[in-house]
Chain A
Amino acid sequence: MGEKPDVLQGTLALMVLKTLDALGPQHGYGIARRIEQISGDILAVNQGTLYPLLLKLEHEGSIASQWGASENNRRARFYRLTSAGRKQLDAETRGWEQTAAIIERFFKIKAEDLA
């Protein structure tokens, strides 16, 4: 079984953080469902790879976890965003927006050339 390329892992991590930021504390299944809803294909299969990623983010200090009760009163592990995680999220969001703006400008140039 090969390793996920780093870029995809990084994007997935960003999505996890954003999900937690938007929806508050979630358990693993909840995060998986939300990401699947929004991004479609990326987490359609191999959802289980989320768990190693969650552990990594927890080790890095971006999220924290504790046991709690889920909707149907089952025992589940809930993850929440920490302040360090929030800072990281803001920084990465800014970075992505900048990249997107630059790329967009390049695409715009092409269209004008042809016009």
Chain B
Amino acid sequence: MKSGTGMKLLRRFSIRFSNLVTRRSANQRLQDEIAEHLALQIEENLRTGMSSVEARRQAALKLGAPQAIRERHHAEHSLPFIENLLFDLRYAARMLLRSPGFSFIAIATMALGIGATTAIYSVIDATLLHPLPYPNPAELVRIQDDLPGVGAQRVGISVPEWRDFESSGIFQSAAITGTGADVNLTGSAQPLRLSFKQVTPNYFAVLGVDAELGRTFDPHDATPGYNLEVVLSDGLWRREFAADPKILGRVLRLDNDEYHVVGVMPRGFRDQGSTSGEQNVELWLGAGFAGVPFPPPLRSARQRSRVVVARLRPGLSIAAAQGHLDALVESLKEQYPADYPAQTAWTVRLIPLSETVVGSVRQSLILLFSAVGLVLLISCVNVANLLLARTSVRSREIAVRQALGAQRTRLIRQLLTESLLLFLLGGIAGFGLLFCARHFLLRLVPESLPHLNEIAINWSVLAFALAVSVAAGTLFGLAPAWLMSRLDLTSTLRQEGRGSSGSVGRSRARQVLVVSELALSLVLMVAAGLLLRSFWDLFAVQPGFNPDRVMAVQTWLPGPNDPKMDPYQTATQEAVLLRQILSHSRTLPGVEEAAIGDQASLPLGHSDPGGLPLIREGIETMDNQAPVIDSPIVSPEYFHLLGMALERGRLFTDQDLEDSPQVAVINQAAAHTYWPNQNPIGKRVRLNFNNRGVLTSAKPVWTTIIGVIADARTESLAATAIPQIYRSVYQRSAKDLAIFLRGQLDPGAILAQERQQVQSIDATLPVFHAESLDDLLSTSLSVRRFSMEMVAFFAATALLLAGLGIYGTISYVVNEQRREIAIRLALGAQKRTILKMVLRRGLGLAAAGACVGVAGALIVSHLMAGLLFGVSPNDLTTFAGVTVVLTLVALAASYIPALRAMRLDPITTLHAD
């Protein structure tokens, strides 16, 4: 019996559905059958001796009520649920058309709420929900080495460690990758600067993506250095090589080395990484990280700018893998005690790759989503309020329908359908607006947002909008529908007590709604206020350097794999080039000062600075015990150009050259951290660095500290100063250079001018990326600014909606009570008293809303504390200011209805009913 039931139900359903769609009617058939049945029954009755009238009557009684039979027959023939729904929808549409003003306001409010929410959702969809477009992304992890014993994180991995991890059985395979660097492509029309990543040959196998054309690297390739194969991105292939089908095997000169093209990646392939820069890598070079130009693969040779990406064994959870890894770490520490001294407490962590890709943006996005959620809530509450207000208009109609026998559930269902239709229309309108405005809105999003290119208004976004509309419509339409159906029939029909006892439930509901609207607006406004103050403080913070009228133009010297091929191998050779560049740059029109520094010296303009172990004389002896410090390399004019003041000692001079004693300048933070309560001038340090695998001298070189400069926020405006140690570019060469120019410069022309100057000295050097330091500063704040602007916009919207809510409610109250007010006026009350009475009502609502709102705002501000800068979550000024604004708005919104109440003419009002 059970097996057939499903099939039978399905058969019944499909037959009934097709009947509904084709509008076939079974009425004729039923009528004929019933007529036939009656005829036979009457005949039978006549045979038993009844009179014809009696026979007919008995037959009819026996058959039963024809209407009921027809209904049940029709219910079986078709699908009454859907029929009722269609009928309700048509009725709801008629009702909405009948009051166009109300419908328009309600739909517009919902369009705003749902449109804004959907917009933020689309950003979250592209950024947080699908960060890794690779197969089985849950298996991908990043391996991070930390030395918590000396307070260092992400110190990088060494090649023997990588080999140990690979053979440990925890991972399917692990790959080392750089974080995205640049390389010079020469030999084409213009020297190009392209972004590349050096990876171990199994990198693409780890990600799980294959080449579209040709192949990726052979995972078993064991070349210790670069294997001289390169894989191109689809974009590069199309742009620079015109999608040449014979690209495979072609030779490219990268940093003066020759590489063979072995493959092209598919269109739309993106590398993993936390910034757009990292993801827009166009070349992949295979390398073993163990031979020239890399440092020798010692266990203690950690390479900081290397990231290890691995794919876990299928079925292994991250927690379990971490457990295995910890055991491996322990055994390695026992095996190699010299390389892992106990006080560094070497630990290895597994971090899901999606986490690192999303990174810091998650907090901002969650904040935005919460803020817009509040706006949505307020819009829904507003519309619910409007719906309730309509009941007094429609109470007559509903009472009549109930008196005629309509069931309550039927009424509720029909009223609910009206609300749902309203919310759905609002949602569709909001989505439509978003779709039309998408290009404009995308321009508002800051460029540093990862996955910016993937934000799209697509089907899943539409599904989200519809789902939110339906959910909101059901939730917020149910209460008004239920309340509406609870009418007291007799008093409504008799027109008694318009606005008295029968609607107490409704008016209380409305007041609760308005108070909640006010509370929510307060929360949003406090959030916006706090963010605004944070941003303002951050913007006004003294960066410690002077970015005024300074532009930075970048040029990178080639880094060929074999150092002997490098024309600027030693600092002395490079110094010649640099001095020439500086003197030529000073001849450009408008240039007052010029200086040179490496990427790490570009304030706020570099991603991960390469830190080095700092070995202080007499304190540390080994790299792996040493703290890590940032170490920019600059020319002597740098400090003056950027306005970084000297506090003690001296700065670099032109006499500090490669063969004179090595010197360094530190900042105050470094002095306080590493030489507390001492004079750091004259102290010596050793900065061990990987000089591309070639050690310049056999004995350790000591660097003497000669000066201390004031702190500057060159890493991040929000962080207080970080210790830095500067070295002169004439003593220690750097390949990644930025040319700083101060003066009255033309931002459009400066790049071409500088390029001309540099290439007149060496025509193979690419010159690119001219940006002003002011721009760099504001870009570093761009995500924050975006969040702040959005939240402020939402808060303003919320305030507007709440104001409208109060206005609506107070008007309604005044309207309900106009007879009482008229009576009072007639009995001699002062107009002013009436005004005060109404205003007090409004203030009462505002006060209630403010109390609840302040409590909520305190909770929210503490949740947000991580995003704030320079202002406490309990900031009294912000809270007080916002409450005052709210009160003023409430007063203003109550004023107009209060005026109307005041001006009631008692005689006409009392006569009107």
Contact = CB atoms under 8 A, between A and B. Distances in A.
Number of chain B interface residues as a range: 20 to 34
B72 interface: yes
B39 interface: yes
B8 A61 contact: yes
Interface in B7-55: 8, 11-12, 15-16, 26, 29-30, 32-34, 36-37, 39-41, 43-44
Contact of B77 (A44, A55, A76, A88): A55
Interface string A76-100: 1100000010011001100100000
A82 B612 CA distance: 88
A47 B62 contact: yes
Given A1-B65, A51-B34, A77 B1 contact: no
Contact of A77 (B32, B61, B77): B32
Nearest to A88: B4
Contact of B1 (A47, A48, A74, A95): A95
A92 B5 CA distance: 13
Nearest to A46: B64
Contact of A52 (B40, B65, B66, B76): B76
Given A49-B64, A52-B72, A60-B12, A75 B4 contact: no
A56 B12 contact: yes
Contact of A51 (B4, B11, B62, B73): B73
Contacts of B4: 84, 87-88
Contacts of A76: 33, 36
B1 A88 contact: yes
Nearest to A54: B33
Given A55-B77, A75-B32, A48 B11 contact: no
**A-side binding surface: helix, strand, loop or mixed?**
helix
Contacts, number: 80
Contacts of A45: 61-62, 64
Contact of A55 (B40, B63, B76): B76
Interface stretch (A15-23, A25-33, A107-115): A25-33
B75 interface: yes
A59 B16 contact: yes
Contacts of A37: none
B60 to A, nearest CB: 10
Contacts of B69: 48-49, 51-52
Interface string A1-15: 100000000000000
Nearest to A59: B12
Contacts of B77: 55
Contacts of A87: 4
A95 to B, nearest CB: 7
A92 B76 CA distance: 23
Given A49-B64, A59-B16, A75 B36 contact: yes
Interface string B61-94: 1111110110011011100000000000000000
B64 A48 contact: yes
Nearest to B43: A72
B20 to A, nearest CB: 13
B21 to A, nearest CB: 15
B32 to A, nearest CB: 7
Nearest to B73: A52
A56 B765 CA distance: 86
Interface string B823-837: 000000000000000
B385 to A, nearest CB: 39
Nearest to B39: A74
B297 to A, nearest CB: 76
Nearest to B41: A29
A66 to B, nearest CB: 12
A87 B73 CA distance: 26
Interface string B340-360: 000000000000000000000
A55 B64 contact: no
Given A47-B62, A47-B64, A48-B63, A59 B15 contact: yes
A37 to B, nearest CB: 12
B552 to A, nearest CB: 79
A114 B40 CA distance: 53
B860 to A, nearest CB: 51
A27 B61 CA distance: 20
Which among B40, B43, B73 has the greatest number of chain A C-beta atoms within 10 A?
A: B40
Contacts of A44: 62
A77 B32 CA distance: 9
B1 A91 contact: yes
Contacts of B73: 51-52, 55
B661 to A, nearest CB: 100
Nearest to B8: A60
A32 B69 CA distance: 15
A93 B15 CA distance: 27
A26 to B, nearest CB: 12
Contact of A29 (B26, B32, B40, B65): B40
A84 B32 CA distance: 27
Given A1-B68, A52-B69, A61-B11, A27 B62 contact: no
A15 B63 CA distance: 18
A49 B39 contact: no
A1 B4 CA distance: 30
A84 B5 CA distance: 12
A88 B26 CA distance: 26
A32 B1 contact: no
B16 A49 contact: no
Nearest to B71: A1
Contacts of B40: 29, 70
A80 to B, nearest CB: 15
B78 to A, nearest CB: 11
Contacts of B41: 29
Contacts of B11: 59-61
A51 B8 contact: no
Contacts of B16: 59
A74 B33 CA distance: 11
A77 B33 contact: yes
B26 A55 contact: yes
A45 B76 CA distance: 21
Contacts of A72: 43
Interface in B403-418: none
Contacts of A48: 34, 37, 63-66, 68-69
A60 B4 CA distance: 10
Which among A32, A45, A48, A91 has the greatest number of chain B C-beta atoms within 10 A?
A: A48
Nearest to B38: A29
Which among B15, B33, B69 has the greatest number of chain A C-beta atoms within 10 A?
A: B33
A76 B62 CA distance: 19
A76 B63 CA distance: 17
B39 to A, nearest CB: 7
Nearest to A53: B76
A70 B8 contact: no
Nearest to B37: A29
A91 to B, nearest CB: 5
A59 B20 CA distance: 14
A48 B76 CA distance: 14
A48 B31 CA distance: 11
A60 to B, nearest CB: 4
A62 B9 CA distance: 12
A83 to B, nearest CB: 12
B64 to A, nearest CB: 4
Contacts of B44: 33
A97 to B, nearest CB: 13
Given A32-B37, A56-B76, A88-B1, 9 more contacts: A48-B68, A49-B69, A51-B73, A55-B76, A59-B76, A61-B11, A76-B36, A77-B36, A84-B4
The 10 closest A-B pairs by CB, nearest first: A46-B64, A48-B69, A48-B64, A52-B72, A60-B8, A29-B40, A59-B12, A48-B63, A29-B37, A52-B73
7 contacts: A29-B40, A46-B63, A48-B63, A51-B34, A52-B69, A61-B8, A75-B32
Interface of A: 1, 27-29, 32-33, 44-49, 51-52, 55-56, 59-62, 70, 72, 74-77, 84, 87-88, 91-92, 95
